[in-house]
Amino acid sequence: PSIFLDRHDSTIIADESLGEVIFGGTESGTSSWGQGAKIQALATEAWAVDSAEGTSINFHTTDATTATLDHRMIIDHNGKVGIGTDDPAQLLDVNSKIYLQSDGVIKWGATANQGILTWDTGKVMIGGQSSNSLELRANNTTALTIGTDLNLTTAANLGVGVAPSYP
């Protein structure tokens, strides 16, 4: 089974609703309804069927103690997901703090050269795979490169600006 929401119009232009699912209700049994949440498909360009059908899906919810629908998340016409932003710049664009659970590992970059951020009891670990260096930056300038300026071996020997010395 499918649910099909469609718009029959002579023209569909950017920012026009193609359909929406509204979640709401009334307590008084009258014709006065409130909207608690909404999922809405919007045209993102002037439509030409079979050649230009750009669309985004937008998610809205209402804060407690208010009656105002707030835009929370978008999947734009390029497949980019924005949380807390309606114009995501990357595949996932979160405009707020994030909280991660589970095994506590974040990886980014190409598989062979991934950066890793992880944590364990009492410590945070950040690094790179495949013998990559780790740079610490200030004002968008490299301040320290671990693996070049600061060398630390697995035996805990330390060298600053030089190879680690051994006792």
Q: How far apart are the C-alpha atoms of 110 and 80, rounded to whole Å?
A: 19
- pLDDT by 10s per residue, the chain, length 167: 888 888 888 899 999 999 999 999 888 777 788 899 999 999 999 999 999 999 999 999 999 999 999 999 999 999 999 999 999 999 999 998 877 666 677 777 776 677 778 777 777 777 776 666 777 777 777 666 766 556 555 565 666 666 655 55
- 59-98 burial by CB neighbour count: b if 16+ within 10 A, else e? ebebeeeeeebeeebbbbeeebbbeebeebeeeebeeeee
Closest CA to 74 of 61, 62, 64, 59: 59
Q: Which amino acid is at 8?
A: H
Q: Is pTM, for the whole model, over 0.75?
A: no
